Structure 1
Amino acid sequence: MATHTVGIVMNGVTGRMGTNQHLIRSILAIREQGGVLLPNEDVIMPEPILVGRNEKKLQALAEKHGLSRWSTDLDQCLKDPANTIYFDSQTTRLRADSIKKAIKYGKHIYCEKPTATDLHSALELAQLAREAGVKNGVVQDKLFLPGLIKLKRLIDSGFFGHILSVRMEFGYWVFEGDWQPSQRPSWNYRKEDGGGMIVDMFAHWRYILDNLFGNVRAVSSLGATHIPKRVDEQGQSYTCTADDAAYATFELDGGIIVQCNSSWAVRVNREDLLTIQVDGTEGSAVAGLRDCKTQHRVNTPRPTWNPDIPNPFDFKEQWEYVPDNQVFDNAFKVQWEAFLKHVVNDDPFPWDLLEGAKGTQLSELALQSWHERRWVDVPELKI
């Protein structure tokens, strides 16, 4: 048995997502379990170095988790041959330039999405990585959530028959920051800083739809800035220049119609922060982040429209939950393990920078649809 130590330059992990999901629940969790086991019983052991612009935050984060390696000098970290992977979870507007630099140093690339603020830059990253021959991947974490894994299990089994439509509801109320602190950073609501619901979340919707139901072929979208002013981390009021909600319809391969509401200005009256209802000729399902429930054709009730009497049905009780049937690990950690296997053992990893660019493409076309108030076709993306 051999141990393959893999140095990882982790840039931008002092933020909420980078710290919690990528550092603590992924890389540190992998180290605590003894690494990633390969079929030949070799082990991959990640060795992170934390990189960022704030020296105090980096030092505090490293010391808290028993790490000795941290730096504010990205170039020096990339020059070190012991570091073979570059990971980026910075804000979107900073990501492309750092990835380009890492590619020049010959590092394998793994990053958050969106991979860039515009499609041209996202495609450029994919092309540069291909030309340099470096392996690359983009975080597409929701594919590894228990609820979506169960939903994929139903799709693969043919449970739905012919899928007709999908309805997605996402979001929650993000506090304005005046009387309660906001749950999201202020840059999310400034277009000039790379914020916006469409830019942020349509990258997720693209890979979910493409991987579960079929390629997105057209989009009709309407964005909105429902909350015009918010209060930032320093207690200063600012004008929101980015959309905080989006209402979209997608057309997929096979004529599947998707209705998708996304909002940071909605109070939740559903079973999860993201729910996906799939209706087919043979059955329906509703998936959340962890659970998934079904209603087959033979179990479908016959409700009668009669507003003159109280509703006699408890519709939610007429669904059956899909059992776990397996142990589900953290979604980010599962994909990290897959990427490490891709780098060390050449295991397949289809979620590359080109797949990431598809998310940016959909965001751009959705913004175009909103501004032009029309349907927009989604062409096949190639490099």
Structure 2
Amino acid sequence: MTARIPVGIVLNGVTGRMGYRQHLVRSLLAIREAGGVALKDGTYLWPEPVLVGRSEAKLRDVAERHGLTEWTTDLGAALARPDVSIYFDAQVTSEREKAIGLAIEAGKHIYTEKPLATTLHGAIELARAADAAGLRHGVVQDKLFLPGLRKLKRLVDGGFFGQILSVRGEFGYWVFEGDWQSAQRPSWNYRAADGGGIVVDMFPHWHYVLEQIFAPVTAVTAHVTTHIPRRWDEQGEPYEATADDAAYAIFELEGGVVAQINSSWAVRVNRDELVEFQVDGTHGSAVAGLRGCRIQPRAATPKPVWNPDLPVSHSFREQWQEVPDNEEYDNGFKAQWEMFLRHVAEDAPYTWDLWAGARGVQMAELGLQSAREGRRVEMTELDR
């Protein structure tokens, strides 16, 4: 029988939507169903989740539903366990920094959802502390594993675009206010005091997408607003939305690439997917979403003619070619968990550490600063 090595993992915030659905069920439990994570020496890592949260009833329900026995509302007790080596955080943003700090003090390797912290200072302090303690650490950067963006990265790496000129991103959907129809997102997302806001939530995503697929971000110009100032919470009570629900930004990248990304929870979808990126280059263009990616190479680019006096006689969308899958795409959260577990167990390469998370927080802070001061703000190197 193949040797199986247990690895204890504290999952804090597992009763939330992302913590439960993506990280427990579709990642760690899916890894167990597949027999574990294969290592170079032929052994398999076997995740042993320790569920942590604030509600005993919810934790008990999750544990019983999946045949798990280890759960607690006492984070300190979970971190004190000698059979636990990894701490994972999927809590609300405002609670994350303190909990990760405790996990670092307890000597646990750190893996966390983003944003890493509510402030750049806090994010840097966590990264420094984890480095000083000699711990492995990583931040979830799930969108890099989306089939559409993996196809886009393949195009970039293969030189399809020639010189890349621009990136245009559209993200968002209409989040119901909560009065006549329940909202699709938790109410804390719209309260600044609880770490809410679309800039804090999405700019860290846009940072790693731009940095990892194209080039590092050098400057930010943003306009931020709260389109829907009044919403209703999970109990049907009205509250003031103090956090931004839309951001319109220009990001300057190394090499002269200009990226424009609109992010909004107050927009109705008229595109093929909830997020789409159009990349234009001298030799071709592409439009990538969550799963699909379409291209229009230079040699096959039609010759559009502006004539408002005649109706359009063709479909512009039909002039694009679909990029084939060419491989099977696993769940992105699961794939990144496997990479991080190998990183901890056998020092396998891993790019997205807490410093990457801190840079994402930095870009969010600069976006808010740009909007507040009405100016372009340069992005500088972090002081380690």
TM range (shorter): over 0.9
Aligned equivalent of 1:14: 15
Aligned equivalent of 1:57: 58
Aligned equivalent of 2:293: 292
Say whether residues 1:112 and 2:113 are aligned partners: yes
Q: Structure 2 counterpart of 1:93, which letter?
A: S
CA distance in structure 2 between the aligned counterparts of 1:380 and 1:278, rounded to whole angstroms:
26
Provide Cα deviations, 1:155-193, integer angstroms capped at 9, x if missing partner.
Answer: 000000000000000000000001110000000001111
Q: Following superposition of structure 1 onto structure 2, how do residues 1-383 of structure 1 map, counting pairs within 5 Å?
A: 1-383=2-384
1:36 Cα deviation (Å)?
0.8
Q: Structure 1 counterpart of 2:213, which letter?
A: L
Provide Cα deviations, 1:33-54, integer angstroms capped at 9, x if missing partner.
Answer: 1001123321111000100111
User: What SS class does the counterpart of residue 255 from structure 1 fall into?
Assistant: coil
CA distance in structure 2 between the aligned counterparts of 1:296 and 1:38, rounded to whole angstroms:
41
1:312 Cα deviation (Å)?
1.9
Q: Structure 1 counterpart of 2:138, which letter?
A: G
Provide Cα deviations, 1:189-246, integer angstroms capped at 9, x if missing partner.
Answer: 0111100010110010000000011000000000010001000001100010010000
CA distance in structure 2 between the aligned counterparts of 1:267 and 1:75, rounded to whole angstroms:
44
CA distance in structure 1 between the aligned counterparts of 2:170 and 2:13, rounded to whole angstroms:
29
Q: Percent identity?
A: 62
CA distance in structure 2 between the aligned counterparts of 1:97 and 1:138, rounded to whole angstroms:
16
CA distance in structure 2 between the aligned counterparts of 1:367 and 1:101, rounded to whole angstroms:
29
Q: Structure 1 counterpart of 2:320, which letter?
A: W
1:380 Cα deviation (Å)?
1.3
CA distance in structure 2 between the aligned counterparts of 1:344 and 1:192, rounded to whole angstroms:
38
Q: Structure 2 counterpart of 1:201, which letter?
A: M
Q: Structure 1 counterpart of 2:33, which letter?
A: E
User: What SS class does the counterpart of residue 49 from structure 2 fall into?
Assistant: strand
CA distance in structure 2 between the aligned counterparts of 1:44 and 1:201, rounded to whole angstroms:
32
Q: Structure 1 counterpart of 2:244, which letter?
A: D
CA distance in structure 2 between the aligned counterparts of 1:82 and 1:161, rounded to whole angstroms:
51
CA distance in structure 1 between the aligned counterparts of 2:305 and 2:288, rounded to whole angstroms:
26
Which sections of structure 2, spanning at least 5 residues, go unmatched? none
1:313 Cα deviation (Å)?
2.3
CA distance in structure 1 between the aligned counterparts of 2:244 and 2:103, rounded to whole angstroms:
32
- Regions of 4+ moved over 6 Å: none
Q: So what's the TM-score if we normalise by structure 2?
A: 0.99
User: What SS class does the counterpart of residue 255 from structure 2 fall into?
Assistant: helix
CA distance in structure 2 between the aligned counterparts of 1:373 and 1:175, rounded to whole angstroms:
29
Provide Cα deviations, 1:353-376, integer angstroms capped at 9, x if missing partner.
Answer: 000000100000000000000000
How many corresponding residue pairs?
Answer: 383
CA distance in structure 1 between the aligned counterparts of 2:157 and 2:40, rounded to whole angstroms:
26
CA distance in structure 1 between the aligned counterparts of 2:74 and 2:260, rounded to whole angstroms:
45
Which sections of structure 1, spanning at least 5 residues, go unmatched? none
CA distance in structure 2 between the aligned counterparts of 1:381 and 1:274, rounded to whole angstroms:
29
Q: Structure 2 counterpart of 1:231, which letter?
A: W
Provide Cα deviations, 1:6-49, integer angstroms capped at 9, x if missing partner.
Answer: 00000001001111000000000000110011233211110001
1:73 Cα deviation (Å)?
1.1
Provide Cα deviations, 1:126-159, integer angstroms capped at 9, x if missing partner.
Answer: 0000000010000000001100100000000000
CA distance in structure 2 between the aligned counterparts of 1:38 and 1:83, rounded to whole angstroms:
19
CA distance in structure 1 between the aligned counterparts of 2:179 and 2:13, rounded to whole angstroms:
27
Q: Structure 2 counterpart of 1:216, which letter?
A: V
1:78 Cα deviation (Å)?
0.7
CA distance in structure 1 between the aligned counterparts of 2:88 and 2:368, rounded to whole angstroms:
28
User: What SS class does the counterpart of residue 279 from structure 1 fall into?
Assistant: strand
Q: Structure 2 counterpart of 1:61, which letter?
A: V
User: What SS class does the counterpart of residue 335 from structure 1 fall into?
Assistant: helix
Q: Structure 2 counterpart of 1:58, which letter?
A: L
1:345 Cα deviation (Å)?
1.2
User: What SS class does the counterpart of residue 344 from structure 1 fall into?
Assistant: helix
